[in-house]
Structure 1
Amino acid sequence: MSEIFTLLLRLEGPMQSWGYRSRFDYRDTSLEPTRSGVIGLICAAMGIARGEDISCFNVIRMGVRVDKDGRLERDYHTALKVIKADASNTGTVVSFRDYLADASFTVGLQSSYRELLDKIAKALSSPTWMLFLGRKAFPLTVPPVVDQKDPIKPGNLEDHLLTGKGDKRVVLEAPDGEKTQHDWPLCFGERRFKPRYVTVKFTPNEKGK
Protein backbone atom coordinates (compact mmCIF):
# COMPACT_ATOMS: atom_id res chain seq x y z
CA MET A 1 0.00 0.00 0.00
CA SER A 2 1.31 3.46 -0.91
CA GLU A 3 2.39 5.74 1.91
CA ILE A 4 0.05 8.64 2.62
CA PHE A 5 1.22 12.23 3.17
CA THR A 6 -0.53 15.43 4.23
CA LEU A 7 0.24 19.10 3.62
CA LEU A 8 -1.28 21.53 6.12
CA LEU A 9 -2.30 25.07 5.18
CA ARG A 10 -3.60 27.95 7.30
CA LEU A 11 -6.16 30.23 5.67
CA GLU A 12 -6.63 33.30 7.82
CA GLY A 13 -7.49 36.92 7.17
CA PRO A 14 -9.82 39.78 8.12
CA MET A 15 -12.29 38.68 5.42
CA GLN A 16 -12.86 35.50 3.39
CA SER A 17 -15.52 34.42 0.91
CA TRP A 18 -15.91 30.91 -0.46
CA GLY A 19 -18.74 31.09 -2.99
CA TYR A 20 -20.84 27.96 -3.26
CA ARG A 21 -24.20 28.84 -4.86
CA SER A 22 -23.39 32.37 -6.06
CA ARG A 23 -25.64 33.58 -8.87
CA PHE A 24 -26.25 36.98 -10.47
CA ASP A 25 -27.02 39.59 -7.76
CA TYR A 26 -26.35 37.33 -4.76
CA ARG A 27 -22.85 36.09 -3.88
CA ASP A 28 -22.93 33.70 -0.94
CA THR A 29 -20.14 32.09 1.05
CA SER A 30 -19.69 28.63 2.48
CA LEU A 31 -18.88 28.48 6.20
CA GLU A 32 -15.51 26.91 5.40
CA PRO A 33 -13.18 26.95 2.37
CA THR A 34 -14.53 25.03 -0.63
CA ARG A 35 -12.49 22.59 -2.69
CA SER A 36 -12.83 24.85 -5.73
CA GLY A 37 -11.57 27.81 -3.71
CA VAL A 38 -8.53 25.95 -2.38
CA ILE A 39 -7.63 24.50 -5.79
CA GLY A 40 -8.04 27.99 -7.25
CA LEU A 41 -5.62 29.33 -4.63
CA ILE A 42 -3.11 26.62 -5.57
CA CYS A 43 -3.52 27.37 -9.28
CA ALA A 44 -2.73 31.04 -8.63
CA ALA A 45 0.38 30.05 -6.71
CA MET A 46 1.53 27.67 -9.47
CA GLY A 47 0.68 30.01 -12.34
CA ILE A 48 -2.01 27.74 -13.82
CA ALA A 49 -4.41 29.76 -15.98
CA ARG A 50 -8.20 29.34 -15.82
CA GLY A 51 -8.51 27.25 -18.98
CA GLU A 52 -5.62 24.88 -18.24
CA ASP A 53 -5.88 21.24 -17.20
CA ILE A 54 -6.29 20.77 -13.43
CA SER A 55 -6.86 17.00 -13.39
CA CYS A 56 -3.53 16.51 -11.58
CA PHE A 57 -5.27 17.66 -8.39
CA ASN A 58 -7.81 14.81 -8.55
CA VAL A 59 -5.40 12.62 -6.53
CA ILE A 60 -5.76 14.96 -3.54
CA ARG A 61 -8.19 14.40 -0.68
CA MET A 62 -9.09 17.58 1.22
CA GLY A 63 -10.21 18.34 4.75
CA VAL A 64 -10.85 21.55 6.70
CA ARG A 65 -10.72 22.23 10.43
CA VAL A 66 -12.57 25.33 11.59
CA ASP A 67 -10.20 26.87 14.13
CA LYS A 68 -12.27 30.06 14.36
CA ASP A 69 -15.75 30.42 12.89
CA GLY A 70 -15.62 34.17 12.52
CA ARG A 71 -18.77 36.16 11.73
CA LEU A 72 -21.01 35.96 8.69
CA GLU A 73 -21.34 39.49 7.26
CA ARG A 74 -23.08 40.97 4.20
CA ASP A 75 -22.17 43.87 1.93
CA TYR A 76 -24.49 45.71 -0.42
CA HIS A 77 -23.05 46.81 -3.77
CA THR A 78 -24.74 49.29 -6.08
CA ALA A 79 -23.99 49.42 -9.81
CA LEU A 80 -25.36 52.18 -12.05
CA LYS A 81 -26.39 51.85 -15.71
CA VAL A 82 -25.78 48.12 -15.93
CA ILE A 83 -25.84 46.89 -19.55
CA LYS A 84 -28.36 44.16 -20.39
CA ALA A 85 -27.88 41.44 -22.99
CA ASP A 86 -29.77 43.54 -25.55
CA ALA A 87 -27.30 46.43 -24.95
CA SER A 88 -29.87 48.58 -23.13
CA ASN A 89 -29.38 50.09 -19.68
CA THR A 90 -31.29 48.66 -16.71
CA GLY A 91 -30.66 51.49 -14.28
CA THR A 92 -29.47 50.65 -10.77
CA VAL A 93 -28.68 47.08 -9.71
CA VAL A 94 -28.12 46.16 -6.07
CA SER A 95 -26.15 43.00 -5.31
CA PHE A 96 -25.60 41.22 -1.99
CA ARG A 97 -22.22 39.71 -1.10
CA ASP A 98 -21.63 37.55 1.96
CA TYR A 99 -18.26 37.00 3.60
CA LEU A 100 -16.68 35.63 6.78
CA ALA A 101 -14.98 38.12 9.08
CA ASP A 102 -12.05 37.10 11.33
CA ALA A 103 -12.27 33.39 10.50
CA SER A 104 -9.35 30.95 10.59
CA PHE A 105 -9.06 27.50 9.03
CA THR A 106 -6.55 24.69 8.80
CA VAL A 107 -6.78 22.93 5.44
CA GLY A 108 -5.28 19.48 4.93
CA LEU A 109 -4.30 18.11 1.51
CA GLN A 110 -3.75 14.34 1.55
CA SER A 111 -2.13 12.31 -1.23
CA SER A 112 0.19 9.40 -1.90
CA TYR A 113 1.95 11.65 -4.45
CA ARG A 114 4.45 13.42 -2.24
CA GLU A 115 6.08 15.16 -5.21
CA LEU A 116 2.80 16.94 -6.01
CA LEU A 117 2.38 18.11 -2.41
CA ASP A 118 6.00 19.35 -2.46
CA LYS A 119 5.31 21.38 -5.61
CA ILE A 120 2.19 22.88 -4.04
CA ALA A 121 4.03 23.82 -0.83
CA LYS A 122 6.87 25.47 -2.76
CA ALA A 123 4.46 27.38 -4.99
CA LEU A 124 2.41 28.65 -2.04
CA SER A 125 5.61 29.84 -0.36
CA SER A 126 6.67 31.72 -3.52
CA PRO A 127 3.49 32.25 -5.57
CA THR A 128 3.36 33.20 -9.24
CA TRP A 129 0.27 35.38 -8.81
CA MET A 130 -1.26 37.13 -5.81
CA LEU A 131 -3.05 34.89 -3.34
CA PHE A 132 -6.39 35.84 -1.83
CA LEU A 133 -9.15 34.26 0.22
CA GLY A 134 -11.93 33.87 -2.31
CA ARG A 135 -11.95 37.48 -3.58
CA LYS A 136 -9.14 39.72 -4.80
CA ALA A 137 -9.85 42.23 -2.02
CA PHE A 138 -9.34 39.56 0.69
CA PRO A 139 -5.59 38.91 1.24
CA LEU A 140 -4.06 36.35 3.58
CA THR A 141 -2.55 37.70 6.79
CA VAL A 142 -0.30 34.70 7.50
CA PRO A 143 1.82 32.50 5.20
CA PRO A 144 -0.42 29.65 3.99
CA VAL A 145 2.02 26.77 4.57
CA VAL A 146 1.89 25.84 8.26
CA ASP A 147 5.40 24.35 8.54
CA GLN A 148 7.72 26.10 6.10
CA LYS A 149 10.75 23.95 6.96
CA ASP A 150 9.07 20.53 6.88
CA PRO A 151 5.65 20.97 5.21
CA ILE A 152 4.91 17.38 4.15
CA LYS A 153 3.88 15.10 7.02
CA PRO A 154 3.27 11.34 7.01
CA GLY A 155 -0.29 10.30 7.82
CA ASN A 156 -3.82 11.06 6.67
CA LEU A 157 -6.20 13.96 7.26
CA GLU A 158 -7.66 12.42 10.39
CA ASP A 159 -4.17 12.17 11.94
CA HIS A 160 -3.57 15.89 11.52
CA LEU A 161 -6.96 17.61 11.67
CA LEU A 162 -8.71 15.67 14.45
CA THR A 163 -6.10 16.71 16.99
CA GLY A 164 -6.17 18.95 20.03
CA LYS A 165 -9.25 19.91 21.99
CA GLY A 166 -11.98 22.50 21.76
CA ASP A 167 -14.82 20.72 19.92
CA LYS A 168 -13.80 22.21 16.56
CA ARG A 169 -15.71 21.26 13.40
CA VAL A 170 -13.77 19.22 10.84
CA VAL A 171 -15.11 18.65 7.30
CA LEU A 172 -13.50 15.66 5.58
CA GLU A 173 -13.92 14.27 2.08
CA ALA A 174 -15.30 10.73 2.35
CA PRO A 175 -16.89 8.46 -0.31
CA ASP A 176 -19.64 7.53 2.16
CA GLY A 177 -20.08 11.04 3.54
CA GLU A 178 -23.51 12.22 4.66
CA LYS A 179 -23.30 15.60 2.87
CA THR A 180 -22.86 16.52 -0.79
CA GLN A 181 -21.07 19.65 -1.98
CA HIS A 182 -21.00 20.64 -5.65
CA ASP A 183 -17.55 22.26 -5.59
CA TRP A 184 -15.10 19.79 -7.17
CA PRO A 185 -13.62 21.81 -10.06
CA LEU A 186 -13.30 20.13 -13.45
CA CYS A 187 -12.45 23.24 -15.48
CA PHE A 188 -12.33 26.81 -14.16
CA GLY A 189 -12.46 28.30 -17.65
CA GLU A 190 -15.78 26.60 -18.42
CA ARG A 191 -16.97 26.77 -14.79
CA ARG A 192 -17.60 23.03 -14.68
CA PHE A 193 -17.86 21.27 -11.32
CA LYS A 194 -18.97 17.93 -9.94
CA PRO A 195 -20.28 16.90 -6.50
CA ARG A 196 -18.17 15.42 -3.74
CA TYR A 197 -19.16 13.72 -0.49
CA VAL A 198 -18.02 14.99 2.89
CA THR A 199 -18.49 13.98 6.49
CA VAL A 200 -18.43 16.28 9.52
CA LYS A 201 -16.55 15.35 12.69
CA PHE A 202 -15.35 17.24 15.75
CA THR A 203 -12.12 17.42 17.69
CA PRO A 204 -12.30 16.24 21.33
CA ASN A 205 -14.07 18.63 23.70
CA GLU A 206 -12.44 20.05 26.82
CA LYS A 207 -13.07 16.76 28.63
CA GLY A 208 -11.30 14.81 25.89
CA LYS A 209 -14.50 13.25 24.50
Structure 2
Amino acid sequence: MTYRRFDGQENEFEEWALSNPGGIVVNSSPGRLNPTYLKAHRPKCNSFWNHPEARTNYSKHCFDSATEAIEYLRVNEIGKPGFECTACRVAALEPTPEFTEFEKRVAVLLAEGVTQDPPGNIHPSKVEISGGTAYYRDPLVAARVQQYAEGKCELCRAHAPFRTVRGTPYLEIHHVRKLADGGGDTVCNTVALCPNCHRATHYAQDARDLTRALYDALARLRPQ
Protein backbone atom coordinates (compact mmCIF):
# COMPACT_ATOMS: atom_id res chain seq x y z
CA MET A 1 0.00 0.00 0.00
CA THR A 2 1.17 3.50 -0.79
CA TYR A 3 -0.10 6.20 1.55
CA ARG A 4 0.92 9.86 1.36
CA ARG A 5 -0.36 12.80 3.35
CA PHE A 6 -0.10 16.39 2.22
CA ASP A 7 -0.83 19.36 4.45
CA GLY A 8 -0.59 22.35 2.16
CA GLN A 9 2.42 21.10 0.16
CA GLU A 10 0.85 22.01 -3.16
CA ASN A 11 3.81 21.23 -5.42
CA GLU A 12 4.30 17.79 -3.90
CA PHE A 13 0.60 17.05 -4.07
CA GLU A 14 0.40 18.12 -7.73
CA GLU A 15 3.35 15.85 -8.55
CA TRP A 16 1.61 12.92 -6.85
CA ALA A 17 -1.70 13.66 -8.57
CA LEU A 18 -0.12 13.74 -12.03
CA SER A 19 1.54 10.36 -11.51
CA ASN A 20 -1.48 8.66 -9.91
CA PRO A 21 -4.55 9.40 -12.06
CA GLY A 22 -6.31 6.28 -10.81
CA GLY A 23 -5.68 7.04 -7.17
CA ILE A 24 -7.89 8.43 -4.42
CA VAL A 25 -7.57 11.56 -2.30
CA VAL A 26 -9.42 11.58 1.00
CA ASN A 27 -9.93 15.20 2.05
CA SER A 28 -10.14 15.56 5.82
CA SER A 29 -9.59 18.04 8.63
CA PRO A 30 -6.28 19.91 8.81
CA GLY A 31 -3.47 17.71 10.08
CA ARG A 32 -5.46 14.53 10.66
CA LEU A 33 -8.05 12.03 9.51
CA ASN A 34 -11.32 13.17 11.04
CA PRO A 35 -13.95 10.36 11.14
CA THR A 36 -16.72 12.94 10.72
CA TYR A 37 -15.22 14.46 7.57
CA LEU A 38 -13.84 12.00 5.02
CA LYS A 39 -14.51 13.07 1.43
CA ALA A 40 -13.09 11.02 -1.42
CA HIS A 41 -12.00 12.63 -4.68
CA ARG A 42 -9.99 11.69 -7.73
CA PRO A 43 -6.55 13.33 -7.96
CA LYS A 44 -7.54 15.79 -10.70
CA CYS A 45 -10.91 16.73 -9.21
CA ASN A 46 -11.95 20.31 -9.87
CA SER A 47 -12.66 20.64 -6.16
CA PHE A 48 -8.89 20.96 -5.76
CA TRP A 49 -7.73 22.61 -8.93
CA ASN A 50 -10.43 25.30 -9.27
CA HIS A 51 -10.53 26.15 -5.57
CA PRO A 52 -7.01 26.57 -4.15
CA GLU A 53 -8.30 26.76 -0.58
CA ALA A 54 -9.43 23.14 -0.93
CA ARG A 55 -5.77 22.24 -1.27
CA THR A 56 -4.42 24.43 1.52
CA ASN A 57 -7.13 24.24 4.18
CA TYR A 58 -7.43 20.46 4.47
CA SER A 59 -5.26 17.39 4.87
CA LYS A 60 -5.09 15.31 1.70
CA HIS A 61 -4.66 11.59 2.39
CA CYS A 62 -3.61 9.90 -0.85
CA PHE A 63 -3.83 6.25 -1.83
CA ASP A 64 -3.14 4.23 -4.98
CA SER A 65 -6.75 3.05 -5.19
CA ALA A 66 -10.18 3.25 -3.59
CA THR A 67 -9.68 -0.27 -2.25
CA GLU A 68 -6.53 0.79 -0.40
CA ALA A 69 -8.19 3.91 1.00
CA ILE A 70 -11.17 1.94 2.31
CA GLU A 71 -8.97 -0.78 3.82
CA TYR A 72 -6.58 1.67 5.48
CA LEU A 73 -9.41 3.58 7.10
CA ARG A 74 -11.12 0.33 8.16
CA VAL A 75 -8.00 -1.12 9.79
CA ASN A 76 -7.41 2.13 11.65
CA GLU A 77 -11.08 2.23 12.75
CA ILE A 78 -11.62 5.63 11.18
CA GLY A 79 -14.58 4.92 8.93
CA LYS A 80 -15.44 4.83 5.26
CA PRO A 81 -14.94 7.90 3.03
CA GLY A 82 -17.83 9.42 1.17
CA PHE A 83 -17.78 8.89 -2.59
CA GLU A 84 -20.46 11.47 -3.39
CA CYS A 85 -18.42 13.99 -5.39
CA THR A 86 -20.19 14.49 -8.72
CA ALA A 87 -17.51 16.78 -10.11
CA CYS A 88 -15.04 13.91 -10.54
CA ARG A 89 -17.51 10.99 -10.34
CA VAL A 90 -15.25 9.29 -7.83
CA ALA A 91 -17.95 6.67 -7.11
CA ALA A 92 -16.91 4.95 -10.35
CA LEU A 93 -13.70 3.87 -8.60
CA GLU A 94 -15.38 2.35 -5.55
CA PRO A 95 -15.38 -1.48 -5.51
CA THR A 96 -18.79 -3.12 -5.34
CA PRO A 97 -20.21 -6.67 -5.14
CA GLU A 98 -23.39 -5.62 -6.97
CA PHE A 99 -23.22 -6.65 -10.64
CA THR A 100 -25.41 -3.97 -12.22
CA GLU A 101 -23.70 -1.17 -10.33
CA PHE A 102 -20.31 -2.67 -11.18
CA GLU A 103 -21.13 -2.62 -14.89
CA LYS A 104 -22.22 1.02 -14.69
CA ARG A 105 -18.97 2.02 -13.03
CA VAL A 106 -16.89 0.14 -15.58
CA ALA A 107 -18.76 1.93 -18.39
CA VAL A 108 -17.97 5.33 -16.85
CA LEU A 109 -14.28 4.49 -16.64
CA LEU A 110 -14.17 3.11 -20.18
CA ALA A 111 -15.73 6.30 -21.52
CA GLU A 112 -13.06 8.35 -19.76
CA GLY A 113 -10.14 6.06 -20.58
CA VAL A 114 -7.71 4.33 -18.22
CA THR A 115 -4.04 5.24 -18.56
CA GLN A 116 -2.38 2.89 -16.06
CA ASP A 117 -2.68 -0.62 -14.68
CA PRO A 118 -4.46 -0.25 -11.33
CA PRO A 119 -3.14 -2.13 -8.28
CA GLY A 120 -6.45 -3.95 -7.80
CA ASN A 121 -6.84 -6.13 -4.74
CA ILE A 122 -4.99 -9.38 -4.07
CA HIS A 123 -7.52 -10.38 -1.41
CA PRO A 124 -10.90 -8.84 -2.30
CA SER A 125 -13.52 -8.71 0.41
CA LYS A 126 -16.65 -10.82 0.07
CA VAL A 127 -20.24 -10.66 1.19
CA GLU A 128 -22.93 -13.30 1.48
CA ILE A 129 -25.97 -12.75 -0.75
CA SER A 130 -29.10 -14.76 -1.45
CA GLY A 131 -27.49 -16.60 -4.36
CA GLY A 132 -24.21 -17.35 -2.57
CA THR A 133 -21.05 -15.28 -2.20
CA ALA A 134 -20.20 -12.04 -4.01
CA TYR A 135 -16.88 -10.21 -4.04
CA TYR A 136 -16.07 -6.51 -3.99
CA ARG A 137 -14.56 -6.06 -7.44
CA ASP A 138 -12.57 -3.08 -8.63
CA PRO A 139 -14.23 -1.39 -11.65
CA LEU A 140 -10.87 0.08 -12.69
CA VAL A 141 -9.40 -3.41 -13.10
CA ALA A 142 -12.26 -4.50 -15.35
CA ALA A 143 -12.07 -1.31 -17.41
CA ARG A 144 -8.33 -1.69 -17.94
CA VAL A 145 -8.74 -5.33 -19.01
CA GLN A 146 -11.49 -4.35 -21.44
CA GLN A 147 -9.06 -1.85 -22.94
CA TYR A 148 -6.43 -4.54 -23.35
CA ALA A 149 -8.98 -6.76 -25.12
CA GLU A 150 -9.85 -4.04 -27.69
CA GLY A 151 -13.30 -5.53 -28.28
CA LYS A 152 -12.06 -9.09 -28.90
CA CYS A 153 -12.24 -12.18 -26.76
CA GLU A 154 -8.80 -12.73 -25.24
CA LEU A 155 -9.10 -16.49 -25.73
CA CYS A 156 -10.63 -17.16 -29.16
CA ARG A 157 -9.84 -13.63 -30.49
CA ALA A 158 -13.29 -13.28 -32.03
CA HIS A 159 -14.98 -9.90 -31.92
CA ALA A 160 -17.46 -9.32 -29.09
CA PRO A 161 -20.84 -10.80 -30.11
CA PHE A 162 -22.67 -7.48 -29.75
CA ARG A 163 -22.49 -3.97 -28.29
CA THR A 164 -24.21 -3.06 -25.06
CA VAL A 165 -26.79 -0.29 -24.65
CA ARG A 166 -23.86 1.91 -23.62
CA GLY A 167 -22.17 1.21 -26.94
CA THR A 168 -19.31 -0.89 -25.57
CA PRO A 169 -18.32 -4.35 -26.90
CA TYR A 170 -19.87 -7.04 -24.74
CA LEU A 171 -17.16 -9.15 -23.13
CA GLU A 172 -17.34 -10.84 -19.74
CA ILE A 173 -14.76 -10.44 -17.01
CA HIS A 174 -13.10 -13.69 -15.93
CA HIS A 175 -10.61 -14.25 -13.11
CA VAL A 176 -8.17 -16.89 -14.34
CA ARG A 177 -7.71 -18.14 -10.82
CA LYS A 178 -11.12 -17.85 -9.22
CA LEU A 179 -11.60 -15.34 -6.44
CA ALA A 180 -13.11 -18.16 -4.39
CA ASP A 181 -9.84 -20.09 -4.80
CA GLY A 182 -7.68 -17.20 -3.62
CA GLY A 183 -7.19 -15.42 -6.94
CA GLY A 184 -6.70 -11.68 -6.92
CA ASP A 185 -8.89 -9.02 -8.48
CA THR A 186 -5.94 -7.69 -10.45
CA VAL A 187 -5.01 -7.06 -14.07
CA CYS A 188 -2.52 -9.95 -13.91
CA ASN A 189 -5.33 -12.40 -13.02
CA THR A 190 -8.19 -11.02 -15.10
CA VAL A 191 -9.22 -11.38 -18.76
CA ALA A 192 -12.13 -10.33 -20.97
CA LEU A 193 -13.88 -13.21 -22.75
CA CYS A 194 -16.82 -13.77 -25.05
CA PRO A 195 -19.72 -15.55 -23.30
CA ASN A 196 -18.95 -18.87 -24.97
CA CYS A 197 -15.29 -18.92 -23.93
CA HIS A 198 -16.17 -17.71 -20.47
CA ARG A 199 -18.53 -20.64 -19.92
CA ALA A 200 -15.94 -22.99 -21.41
CA THR A 201 -13.27 -21.93 -18.91
CA HIS A 202 -15.64 -22.98 -16.14
CA TYR A 203 -17.39 -26.06 -17.54
CA ALA A 204 -15.60 -27.50 -20.57
CA GLN A 205 -13.80 -30.85 -20.41
CA ASP A 206 -10.63 -29.07 -21.51
CA ALA A 207 -11.03 -26.09 -19.15
CA ARG A 208 -7.51 -26.52 -17.79
CA ASP A 209 -6.08 -26.45 -21.30
CA LEU A 210 -7.99 -23.23 -21.98
CA THR A 211 -6.51 -21.68 -18.84
CA ARG A 212 -3.01 -22.67 -19.94
CA ALA A 213 -3.72 -21.15 -23.34
CA LEU A 214 -4.58 -17.84 -21.67
CA TYR A 215 -1.31 -17.82 -19.74
CA ASP A 216 0.61 -18.61 -22.92
CA ALA A 217 -1.15 -15.92 -24.96
CA LEU A 218 -1.19 -12.99 -22.51
CA ALA A 219 2.09 -11.76 -21.10
CA ARG A 220 0.38 -9.66 -18.41
CA LEU A 221 -1.02 -12.79 -16.68
CA ARG A 222 0.92 -14.30 -13.81
CA PRO A 223 0.03 -17.63 -12.19
CA GLN A 224 -1.13 -17.17 -8.62
TM-score, L = length of structure 2: 0.23
**Higher RCO (CA 8 Å, separation ≥ 6 residues):** 1
Q: Which has the higher helix share?
A: 2
Q: Which has the higher strand share?
A: 1
TM-score, L = length of structure 1: 0.24
